[in-house]
Each structure stands twice: as structure tokens, then as C-alpha cells.
Amino acid sequence: MGPRCSLLSLALAAALSVAVAYDPLDPNGNITIKWDIMSWTPDGYVAVVTINNFQMYRQIMAPGWTVGWTWAKKEVIWSMVGAQATEQGDCSRFKGNIPHSCKRTPAVVDLLPGVPYNQQIANCCRGGVISAYGQDPGSAVAAFQVSVGQAGTTNRTVKVPKNFTLLGPGPGYTCGPAKIVPSTVFLTPDRRRKTQALMTWNVTCTYSQHMASKYPSCCVSFSSFYNDTIVPCAKCACGCEHKTCVQGDSKRPLTVTGKHEHAHGAAGVRVHRDMEAPLLQCTTHMCPVRVHWHVKLNYKEYWRAKIAITNFNYRMNYTQWTLVAQHPNLDNITEVFSFDYKPVVAYGSINDTAMFYGLKYFNDHLMQAGPYGNVQSEVLMRKDASTFTFRQGWAFPRKVYFNGDECQMPPPDAYPYLPNAAMPAPAASLGAAAVAVVAFLVLVVV
């Protein structure tokens, strides 16, 4: 009974962790959708809806967010500012003034940049893109205004919507029920007067990578100066079933099934034309993104690692990308050469996680697959004499996340190992050690 109980407990714990979408490196990360009723109308209300991204390293990229819900009664949307419903629905019962949307389950999207000013409000119109809170708190918010009709006109008669959904831009988010909370308080521009919403409710949405995709979206490879072995991403790390890819510089797409590759465009074969689906460069791992960690140099008091991120997707530019790595020596970073860096401190004094992201206007865009589809930097860390070692893969990260999704790591037994003859002495490079060994052998022979 003992082993069976243990296995059952582990399975239950795993299921619960997926259900609540818990991220141990960002335990408080979520997206909160807040509705503030600002005024009453003859048949409803005007509300400002604010989407706050409280996730430290997960943003919403283009084509952006989509928020949906189900009306509690027979409400309609008379008008919107800063966003639009994707469908108008059946408004045939209305004469003269036609609502913006009569759908009982509307889906709302952001407006694109450059819309007329009379269609904008603060924090709108970015094409649905929302930054990660840890990267850019000022851009980690979106908002729109909605005028709701055929609804309640007092706090007692208003019925909050239900069944909220969030796409960011794909699946993965689960939203809880709307909860009425104390009304939001606002400061006037001169900061001398406070006003408050007439009624406020919040909806909390959390992300689960397991719900978003069956497979990871990135993988990790390793190499080091002290071993010639390059540990590649695992084969089919991101799944190989029926993925479309391009081999080398060829423009002819192939479908990878896990065992074989089939060319598209032949007689009787349907060519894949879905521009939203990834078009990957054909690789053994079939991941859109690969992160490579190279242990580069060893100094007396410091050591240096090189990080390279490569995009294998011909249909995706990663704007404002983020990379998170967990390693015990990341609490003592001396310098990051080509990326921006912030520590991710999830548990008080434990500072073993770092978030890296591109320098604005320099490398904050990871371009599509090709000659410019990579970014790289080096990290210089000060050694802690009590813990530092190159043995047993210590110099490689424990976890790696790209854009908030955990990457597939190589198996531990494949990590570059420290040769038995090598000692973790403070050498500037392996070349110097090799020259010393050769000289010693020559002396012995002579």
C-alpha cells in the first residue's frame, strides 16, 4: 500500500498544480480584469475595464489579447472606446439606434495603434500587446470603455457577467468568477481630490503551460570550455507530430510526423497555408526557440557564461522577449553585457533566479528564423568559494523559461562532464592547462 499511496499522492499533486496553474518562480503571477462602473445610463451603465498583467516574465504578444464573457441577462453593448467586439451578433430587434454588439457571449479585442483620438482612452490601442510586469510595469496594462444597455441601473440590480475567458493570444488562461470588491478610488490629476467608482468587480486569470500546449515551446542545449561535447536539445523536444518545417534555405515545406518527413506541394497533397501556424526550420528538436548556455571562461574569482537564443520560426518575431534562468550563482551577477537583467525573488531571501531581456531599440526584438534570428549575451558571475564547482553539471541552469514557458532541458546524464584529470583550479582557459600538460609530458619523455 505504501508505494501505491505515494504514487497516488504524486499524481494528485501534479494534477492539482496544473489545475491551479501554479508557477513556483512566480507564485503570485496572474492577470486581473477589473470592471469599474463610472456612471449610470437610462438602461445600464458605462464601465472602464482594465486588464493588469501581474506576471513577472510572461507577456501577451501580437496578435494580442481577447477577452470574452457571458452576460447574466439580456445585456447589449451600445458602444465601446479603445476596443471592439469581434462580432455584432443579431440586433434585428432594435429599431433606429443599433448596438455595437448584441452577442450574449461577446469577444473583445484591442484596437490597433493609430486609430482616431476619439476612439482612444488611456492604455488602449496597442494591438493587444501587454508587457510583462517585471520587464515594463508601465506597459503591463490595457484598458477600454464599454457602454452596457438593458442592464441594471443600480448596485443592487446590476448582474455581473460570468464565464470569463482570456486568450493571450492563444489558450492557457483560466479565469475565475467575477467577485464584487470595494470600489476603486481614483486621484484627480492635481492629486487633491479622490473619487471612486460606483461599483467594482475583479476577475483573476491564471496561466497553465500544460493547458496551452501539449509540448514545450523551447528547448535548451549546453556546452563548455572544459569538454568538447555539445549537448543538443533532445530529439523531438517540442513534438514532431505533423509539424510543418522548411529544410535549410529551401522554400519547400515539409510535414514532420515524428518518423518521416513528407514534402508538400506534390500531386494529391494539400499545401499548408495557415499563416498563424508556426513554420519552423527543420531541426531534430522541432522547437520554435532554442536557448544555448555555454560555460565560457574560468577566472580566479569569477566565471563567465554565454547565452544565445535562436528563433527557428519563420512566421514569428518575438517582441519584448524574456528569458528566465534559475542557477544558484545568479545571486552574484557582476555584469551582463548585452541584455538587461533583473533578479526574480519569489521567496524572500532566495535569489537564484534572473530575468534577462533585450536592450530597447538594440536587441529587444528576436527576429524570425534566418541570419538575424538570434540574440546573445554573456554573464559574468563572482564565485562563492563554498559552493562553486564545475563538477556534476553545477555550472548549468536548473530551469530555463522563454516568454514565460518552461523549456525542455537535456537529461542530467548528458551534461558536459569535467574530465577526471581536470581540477577546478583558477585557470583563464583550458588552453593554458593543456599547454602545461603537454610541456610536462615532453619533460618526462626527455
- pLDDT tens sequence across 353-364: 999 999 998 999
pLDDT at site 429: 43
Rg from Cα positions in the chain: 27
Residues 190 and 294 both lie in one domain? no
pLDDT at site 438: 38
Domain-embedded: residue 382: yes
Query: What is the b/e burial string over 125-157, where b = at least 16 CB atoms within 10 angstroms of the residue's CB?
Result: bbebbbbbbbbeeebbbbbbbbbbbebbeeeee
Largest CA-CA distance found in the chain, in angstroms, rounded = 105
Residues 307 and 207 both lie in one domain? no
Domain-embedded: residue 144: yes
**Mean pLDDT, residues 383-399 taken together:** 91
Q: Lowest-confidence range among 290-304, 314-328, 424-438? A: 424-438
Domain-embedded: residue 430: no
Residues 313 and 357 both lie in one domain? yes
Domain-embedded: residue 16: no
Residues 49 and 158 both lie in one domain? yes
Indicate the burial class of 244 (C-beta count within 10 angstroms; 0-12, 13-18, 19 or more): buried
Q: How many residues does the chain have?
A: 446
Sheet holding 405-406, edge to edge: 339-343, 353-358, 322-326, 399-402, 405-406
Decide if pLDDT at 135 tops 90. yes
Residue 76: which of 61, 62, 87 has the closest Cα? Answer: 87
Q: Which three cell numbers stand for residue 432?
A: 593554458
Integer angstrom CA distances of residue 128 from 56, 59, 84, 149: 18, 11, 11, 25
> pLDDT above 70 covers what percent of the chain?
83
Pairs from 336-343 (Cβ < 8 Å, separation ≥ 24): 336/377, 336/378, 336/379, 336/380, 337/377, 337/378, 337/379, 337/380, 338/362, 338/363, 338/375, 338/376, 338/377, 338/378, 339/307, 339/363, 339/375, 339/377, 341/379, 342/134, 342/135
Residues 75 and 184 both lie in one domain? yes
pLDDT at site 243: 76
Domain-embedded: residue 318: yes
Encode pLDDT of 251-296 as tens digits: 556 655 554 444 443 332 223 333 467 899 999 999 999 999 999 9
Encode pLDDT of 188-221 as tens digits: 989 999 999 999 999 999 999 999 999 999 999 9
Domain-embedded: residue 435: no
More confident residue, 106 or 278: 106
Residues 363 and 238 both lie in one domain? yes
> Full-prediction pTM beyond 0.85?
no
pLDDT at site 273: 34
Decide if pLDDT at 420 tops 90. no
Query: Quick check: 387 and 352 in contact, CB under 8 A?
Result: no
Quote the number of domains for the chain: 2
User: Domain range for residue 147?
Assistant: 31-211
Q: Compute the distance between CA of residue 316 and CA of residue 328 in angstroms, rounded to an integer.
A: 33
**Mean pLDDT, residues 143-148 taken together:** 98
Specify which residues 206 forms β-bridges with.
174
The letter for the amino acid at 336 is V
Residues 81 and 159 both lie in one domain? yes
Sheet holding 302-311, edge to edge: 227-231, 218-224, 289-298, 302-311, 374-382, 333-336
Residues 111 and 226 both lie in one domain? no
Mean pLDDT value across the chain: 86
Residues 387 and 292 both lie in one domain? yes
**Mean pLDDT, residues 401-425 taken together:** 81
- DSSP structural state of residue 350: B
10 Å Cβ neighbour count for 283? 21
- The region that residue 242 occupies, defined by phi over 0 for left and psi between -120 and 50 for alpha, beta otherwise, is left
Decide if pLDDT at 443 tops 60. no
Domain-embedded: residue 25: no
Q: Report phi then psi at 326, rounded to 5.
A: -115, 120
CATH at residue 73: 2.60.40.290
Q: Which three cell numbers stand for residue 9?
A: 499522492
Residues 75 and 92 both lie in one domain? yes
Domain-embedded: residue 443: no
Specify which residues 302 forms β-bridges with.
382
Residues 199 and 290 both lie in one domain? no
Residues 119 and 220 both lie in one domain? no
Residue 408: which of 189, 236, 169, 199 has the closest Cα? Answer: 236
Chain centroid to CA 145: how far?
27
